[in-house]
Structure 1
């Protein structure tokens, strides 16, 4: 495994590959993403440890989407939706212990992030994020709340760099979780131009989609359609966009690391 440096324009390529791969298997990848999010939502129901467990599942959910996307993009034949979902879930279990540790490290980092934001506003933003406090207009407009929110956003950036490539490094190359986090951060920072273009590309796509959806909802409103239909359109669009985004992550990993030997993990869905 060798770190590769890519030009900034590669970020747009990652976006395009993610969109193209998603539309090869839209039902399967959307269903897989929904299944991952449902598992995380169910975890939050557990008392005391529910929120931490949900956070700990995110690296594994990311890996499942990466495996499915790699298989979809690299296979000449299309698996049926259930078969692709089962294949991705089975493959992602190969390094269960290391992935569990990686998940715990992510949860700890995220909770630490929220704890630091609580020093600014007394825990108001953290309470809203964790769902234990309702958000009101007065609270949202509070200077302390906004300061805590922006602090959390800034702190999340280095956290995301640490874990961006880590699940794939653990799964496909058998790298220890802490080392995987270090290599992930180095790869992201060395290719910061490509990742900046990548982020801007997705932001532009999200904004363009939002404009189109707003126009569609306006037309539906003028036709007297119910608010239930509008809500369904919004939720469906959000899920599809999120699944599309997660489908693109594997391509950034593939281009940032050059294989120098066969992966330590199985070849199923290897990037």
Structure 2
């Protein structure tokens, strides 16, 4: 299909979230099940020695594209199935090869970022994770958490992963719907995010505000009810739900930036 990159107003970053919630309301069980299935498969993959983490990282581009396809189906009043995650690999051999290259390159770069961050923090992050997993003494964990190298390790991971997400944000969708090659898709995605940085910045800030607000309300309510010990479970369940809505909203940022098949009026005139 012919795609056309366009610039959108910053306010559309809010609309993407709103439409994500609308789509989720139409098919909450189906979309939640898709995200739960992905988490389960990812957990099983992580258990594989050696290649487990690499396979999990490699699947992330297909996760975002799969949810775009799922959202597209919901808008057509169809129920999305697990097949949305493998549908991108069933097109032409050229597009399948491009998708696999995107997946593999993303995984390799994520692993390299992890190695660099480990070097920056001297392994302090891994040491802290090990202490937590082994249920070490709280005082020992607290002491390890005060290591100043942790900050630089976290900053390196978050900063570089954020930068990495820019070229890969729309790349799988551009290959799937636009038939673009790997290099062109990565470039087009980067250009789209740069030209619409206002909308994406607002989108990110609003998601952060939503998550912080929801977490605060849940903690407060459970605390007032004297059920603070159950708050972490509620926070986890809510986090999974918010993650599902986030992935459902990705479709709208793509169709908005590239004018691809947006349902009439869905992205216009919504104040």
Task: Indicate the TM-score class for this superposition, using the shorter chain for normalisation.
Answer: 0.7 to 0.9
Query: Shift of the alpha carbon at 1:248?
Result: 0.6
Q: Could you state the TM-score of these two structures normalised by the residue count of structure 2?
A: 0.84
- Structure 1 ranges of 4+ moved more than 6 A: none
Query: Are the counterparts in 2 of residues 69 and 247 from structure 1 also a CA contact under 8 Å?
Result: yes
Give the corresponding residue for 1:5. 7
Match of 2:257 in 1: 256
Shift of 1:254: 0.6
The offset of 1:45, in angstroms, is: 0.7
Structure 1 unaligned residues grouped into runs of 5+ = 263-271
Partner of 1:183: 188
Alpha carbons of structure 1 residues 122 and 12: separation in structure 2 relative to 1, 3 Å: same
* Structure-to-structure mapping, 1:78-157, within 5 angstroms: 78-79=78-79, 84-86=80-82, 88-89=84-85, 91-95=87-91, 96-125=96-125, 127=126, 133-135=130-132, 136-157=141-162
Following superposition, the deviation at residue 137 of structure 1 comes to 2.4
Please state how far the C-alpha of 1:86 moved relative to its aligned partner.
Answer: 3.9
Give the Cα separation in 2 of the matches to 1:70 and 1:92: 14
Aligned residue pairs, count: 247
Q: Deviations over 1:213-244 (max 9, x none)?
A: 11332244x2xx594x5443222111101101
Counterpart position of 1:20 = 22
Distance 2:37 2:104 in 1: 20
1:102-139 Cα distance to aligned partner (Å, 9 max, x none): 111111111111122123122333x369x6x3453223
Aligned residue among 47, 56, 60 for 2:49: 47
Give the distance between the partners of 1:90 and 1:104, measured in 2 at CA.
Answer: 15
TM, length-normalised to structure 1: 0.84
Which deviates more, 91-100 or 144-153?
Answer: 91-100
3-state SS of 2:10 partner: coil
> Do structure 1's residue 200 and structure 2's residue 205 form an aligned pair?
yes
Closer, same or farther in 2 for the Cα pair 1:177/1:38, shift >3 Å? farther
Task: Name stretches of at least 5 consecutive residues in structure 2 with no aligned partner.
Answer: 133-140, 262-271
